[in-house]
Amino acid sequence: MNTAIQLHITPGQEEQFREEGYFILERALPDEQLEMLRAECDLAVAQTDAEMERHNVEIIGINIRGNRYFIGQPSLARPVLREVLLGEIMAEICRATLGDNAIVGWEQFVVKGADNGMKFSWHQDAGYAAALGQQDIKPGVSCWCALDDMSEENGTIYVLPYARAGGGKLVAHTRDEELNDQVGYFGDDPGIPVIVPAGSIAVFSGFTFHRSGFNTTNKMRRVYLPQYGGAIARNEDGSVFGRSDVILENGVRPQ
């Protein structure tokens, strides 16, 4: 049982992030935070289903009822999530990957429904930011927090090291007309599967290509995904893109 915040990022993991664009932290989340995130995720899915029912639709954006969900900025409505979003674990990841100054860029729950949870195409997170209008894109860091044990059967993510796709740079993406996915890699490299226990965190750059498979199990596959940058992201008109909550300033978490 993991009940305390005990996170150690090694020099080797920091180097792997710089050279390959990712590293894995197994069982990094304390049990209390893991259970809170699970409960909040289930609530967010129920609320999204209710919204679809109100509008008599099965799809909103890239959310497909009972199939896959991308529920953005949940902590704005549920402040309890900020204990993870702005907590010491994420701050330590930001120190190791971004340096002494970091802000929240985005957060979301990512869920695949039981039995028929759909795949998600090869993309860089920065590719979605570009499609939504972010300017002067820096890579940032994504913290893919596994709320369930992850396997190829339940649709875990696969990552491609920089040398195998993208080269650590933003690649042009094309929108899939059927699923609304942004797609940036069309090769046949299957990628490296992230097979980890619940509470683990896959840390990867916004320029790292990743995809996910189908969920063929009888349980949902749930993820909490906060994302951070070294500076506030801007739209073309100068307005803030996403979020601007400070998690690190000169190496210290604001009180």
pTM of the predicted protein model: 0.92
Per residue in 178-200, pLDDT (tens digit) is: 777 888 899 999 999 999 999 99
Q: Hey, is 232 helix, strand or coil?
A: coil
Residue for token digits 């970091």? 102
From residue 37, alpha-carbon distances to 71, 83, 146, 220 in Å are 13, 10, 10, 14
Count CB atoms within 10 A of the CB of residue 155: 24
The structure tokens listed for 72 are 């953005």
Pairing type for strands 68-72 and 102-112 reads antiparallel
Domains with residue ranges and CATH for the chain: 20-248 (2.60.120.620)
Burial class (CB in 10 A: 0-12, 13-18, 19+), 250: exposed
H or E stretch covering 222: strand 221-229
Dump pLDDT digits (tens) for 101-143.
999 999 999 999 987 767 788 999 887 776 666 666 778 999 9
pLDDT tens for the chain, residues 1 to 255: 565 566 889 999 999 999 999 999 999 999 999 999 999 999 999 999 999 999 999 988 878 898 889 999 999 999 999 999 999 999 999 999 999 999 999 999 999 998 776 778 899 988 777 666 666 677 899 999 999 999 999 999 999 999 999 999 888 898 887 777 888 899 999 999 999 999 999 999 999 999 998 999 999 999 999 999 988 878 778 888 888 899 999 999 987
Among 117, 14, 37, 108, CA closest to 70:
108
